[in-house]
Amino acid sequence: MQTLFTVCIMSGASRQLALFLCGCYVVALGVHATEPRVADHHEAEHYMAAVYEHQSILTPDPLAVMSRKQALQLMNQNLDIYEQQVMIAAQKGVQIIVFPEDGIHGFNFTRTSVYPFLDFMPSPRLVRWNPCLEPHRFTDTEVLQRLSCMAIKGDMFLVANLGTKQPCHSNDPGCPNDRRYQFNTNVVFSNNGTLVDRYRKHNLYFEAAFDTPVEVDHIIFDTPFAGKFGIFTCFDILFFDPAIRLLRDSEVKHVVYPTAWMNQLPLLAAIQIQRAFAIAFGINLLAANIHHSSLGMTGSGIHSPLKSFWHHDMEDSRGHLLIAQVAKNPLGLTGTETATDKMDPSHSKFLELLAGDPYCEKDAQEVHCDGATKGDMNAAPTFHSEMMYDNFTLVPVWGKEGYLRVCANGLCCYLLYRRPTLSNELYALGVFDGLHTVHGTYYVQACALVKCGGLGFDTCGQEITEATGRFEFHLWGNFSTSYIFPLLLTSGMTLETPDQFGWESDHSFLRKRGLSSGLVTAALYGRLYERD
């Protein structure tokens, strides 16, 4: 049984943005209140984690150059809110808390205007340092000192993001002209305030103020309560380094993930990719996003392969603290069939189709199988529409049941579906196999069942959040990459857990029955890192 509590705490934040911030938090406890012995078992098998989605107080003009004193005054207003959230979390027994990218200093700086906001960052690999207890050891470390003291005060591991600087010399071929490196940096403090490690963001997203490290940081830190954690930032989640390489260490079961993610539906909303990453790699992901709804920035969560606690709110301007009990050894979502699956006619049909059912007659878009599916008996028209700035090839999903295929380049996507009732909405099955080149360059293979924005084909791929259409389906494709992320989103920005996700006969597949609400997106999002 789960018990869910929601409480609203007045933060007393500055009115820099003419907003009175209120931090809301959710506590999710998988413990029976009437069975204290179960709680002991859960404490042994779980840890308490928190992520804070922060409505940051921003400088009115990020291009203007201010003094270090002025920069610290602004950053301390954000740090005051952080400290309040740490103390709330401490009351709930939290052992690790994650804060978002850009939460302390803000964003949209130039290289020069961000400089007063930067702390000096010694390498934790070379220097063992407790900023709270040794505040005068290094200059320009006021933010690190406050974060270190928060970790001590809350008696918890603390992960935060800040801008840092590191002097360099002219004999360094990568040294910028101003003789310093500037990094977008995550820091990890232990519960005694020691600086455990730091990660410098590798895949920058239009961040002219910061440098890319010469070498990729692959940071894994150890904790006494849950073992090894990996760490990376925002846009990193879409690339091989450092995200995928980190998880080659089989002992890494948890990832902390500060982010400042702008949502882009239908395939890359923040909570969508966070949950998909947790499922794909069978890990826990503690994701803290910044909260600026006017910029489309919201969506944080504590995600495991089988369950997620998340926050997505485009209406409220308040910060949000999410607290959940997390399994130390997360159970993965299996892709193998069970006895129940074998008895299910739709899954049997799926397996028959994969095996090349001789009674199936295939054409360019649609497959008709004797005794298999009825409806969609006429060939569905193929059309093209822009989705995520990419030119998808699609076919409409008509009728109460059917079996569709759509191909582009070498990728073919298949959908076997049944709908309990028809809604007055247009859905389409789309495929893309190519290089994405807008807001980043990376190679994507995607099979996507999406609700269109209207009834016209040209509305397929538009950003929508509400839907009523229910589906039971198998979605699969002949992907040429093993890195597939399952996306499953329903009406009202609700995350769903697939019934199955895995591989069968060299095809990646996603299966779901019993949606809780109308389907917005069901997709297999593949990345071919070697073709970026």
**Predicted pLDDT at 355:** 86
For residue 38, which phi and psi values (nearest 5 degrees)? -65, -40
Distance of alpha carbon 64 from alpha carbon 75, whole angstroms: 16
Q: What is the pLDDT of residue 170?
A: 85
Who wins on pLDDT, 95 or 360? 95
Query: Are the CB atoms for 340 and 58 separated by under 8 Å?
Result: no
Note the pLDDT tens digit of each residue in 497-529.
999 999 999 999 999 999 999 999 999 999 999
- The candidate with the shortest Cα–Cα distance to 104, out of 48, 160, 33, is 160
Cis peptide before 486 (omega within 30 of 0): no
Of 493, 496, 391, residue with least CA distance to 444: 391
Average pLDDT over residues 136-153: 98
Residue 286: beta bridge partners?
256, 302
Strand order of the β-sheet with 472-477 is: 401-408, 411-418, 472-477, 507-512, 500-504
The CA distance from 280 to 335, in Å, is: 11
The first and second tokens of residue 330, run together, are: 């997360």
Kindly report the number of other CB atoms within 10 A of residue 69's CB atom: 8
**In sequence order, what are the residues at sequence separation of 6 or more whose Cβ sits closer than 8 angstroms to the Cβ of residue 15?**
none
pLDDT given at position 343: 65
E strands present in 232-283: 252-259
Instruction: Provide the pLDDT for residue 293.
Output: 95
Tracing tokens 């794909």 back to the chain, one arrives at 280
% pLDDT > 90, the chain:
82
Residue 316 and residue 313: Cα distance in Å, rounded? 6
DSSP for residue 61: -
400-420: per-residue pLDDT in tens?
999 999 999 999 999 999 999
Q: How confident is the model at residue 339 (pLDDT cuts 50, 70, 90)?
A: low
Question: 379 pLDDT band (50/70/90 cuts)?
Answer: confident
Helix (H) or strand (E) run with residue 229 in it? strand 227-231
Nearest one of 458, 450, 439, 441 to 413, comparing CA atoms: 450
Give 324's strand partners. Answer: 28, 49
- Give the residue numbers marked as catalytic: 101, 201, 234
State pLDDT tens for residues 232-270.
999 999 999 999 999 999 999 999 999 999 999 999 999
Q: The tokens of 129 are what?
A: 């340092």
Q: What is the pLDDT of residue 370?
A: 42
Question: Residue 375: its pLDDT value, please?
Answer: 40
Give SS3 for 327. strand
Residues 6 or more apart whose Cβ sits within 8 Å of residue 515: 470, 471, 490, 496
4-41 residue pLDDT tens = 333 333 333 333 333 333 333 344 433 222 233 334 55
The mean per-residue pLDDT over the stretch 105-115 comes to 98
Select, from the ranges 336-340, 348-352, 362-366, 397-401, the one with the highest average predicted confidence (pLDDT).
Answer: 397-401
Q: Are 34 and 97 in contact (CB under 8 A)?
A: no
Both tokens of 31, joined, read 């413990």
CB 8 within 8 A of CB 24: yes
The DSSP code for 293 is G
pLDDT tens-digit map of 167-201: 999 899 999 999 999 999 999 999 999 999 999 99
Label residue 106 by pLDDT band (50, 70, 90).
Answer: very high
Q: Give the pLDDT band (50/70/90) at residue 338.
A: low
- 285, two tokens: 């992901």
Report residue 271: phi and psi, to 5°: -70, -25
Q: What is the largest CA-CA distance in the chain?
A: 79
pLDDT in tens, 452-491: 999 999 999 999 999 999 999 999 999 999 999 999 999 9
Q: Among candidates 103, 223, 75, 102, which has minimal Cα distance to 156?
A: 223
Average pLDDT of the chain, as a whole number: 89
Q: What is the pLDDT of residues 201-238, one digit of tens each?
A: 999 999 999 999 999 999 999 999 999 999 999 999 99
Concatenated DSSP letters for 160-177? EEEEEEEE--TTSTT--T
Q: Which of 532, 521, 427, 523 is nearest to 479 (CA)?
A: 523
pLDDT digits (tens, 9 = 90+) for 268-308: 999 999 999 999 999 999 999 999 999 999 999 999 999 99
Measure the CA dihedral 244/246/252/253, to 10°.
-30
Written as six digits, the tokens of 39 are 């709680």
Q: Point out which residues pair with 392 in neighbouring strands.
A: 385
